[in-house]
């Protein structure tokens, strides 16, 4: 079964938008949110390293999709807000 990574990220973006609405955070807050998501990936990979439990890799993949979706939301927010002021 081939998985479409881009569809997974798009689906996650839609889920986030439905849950939180359009987010217009400061770059500093976006950095904190993105860093927290990356930290969750690190946690799962560390747990996998000590246990070799495949569900840790599956959870890490889920977290990576969330990282990608948050990064896109961050870039979109910059385009709408901070970078829009310079155009």
**Structural domain includes residue 72:** yes
Q: What total number of domains does the chain contain?
A: 1
pLDDT tens, residue by residue, 8-28: 999 999 999 999 999 999 999
Whether 32 and 20 have beta carbons less than 8 Å apart is answered as: no
**Structural domain includes residue 17:** no
Whether 64 and 41 have beta carbons less than 8 Å apart is answered as: yes
Q: What is the pTM of this model?
A: 0.89
pLDDT tens, residue by residue, 43-83: 999 999 999 999 999 999 999 999 999 999 999 999 999 88
Looking at residue 87, its pLDDT comes to: 66
**Structural domain includes residue 8:** no
53 is in which domain, residue-wise?
A: 22-86
Quote the radius of gyration of the chain (alpha carbons, Å).
Answer: 15
**Structural domain includes residue 64:** yes
**Structural domain includes residue 68:** yes
Alpha helix positions (H), the chain: 5-20, 27-51, 54-80
């Amino acid at each position: 079964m081939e998985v479409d990574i881009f569809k997974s990220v798009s689906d996650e973006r839609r889920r986030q938008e439905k849950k939180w609405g359009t987010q217009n955070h400061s770059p500093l807050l976006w950095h904190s949110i993105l860093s927290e998501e990356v930290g969750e990936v690190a946690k799962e990979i560390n747990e996998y390293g000590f246990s070799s439990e495949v569900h840790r890799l599956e959870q890490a993949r889920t977290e990576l999709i969330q990282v990608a979706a948050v990064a896109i939301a961050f870039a979109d927010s910059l385009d709408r807000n901070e970078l829009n002021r310079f155009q």
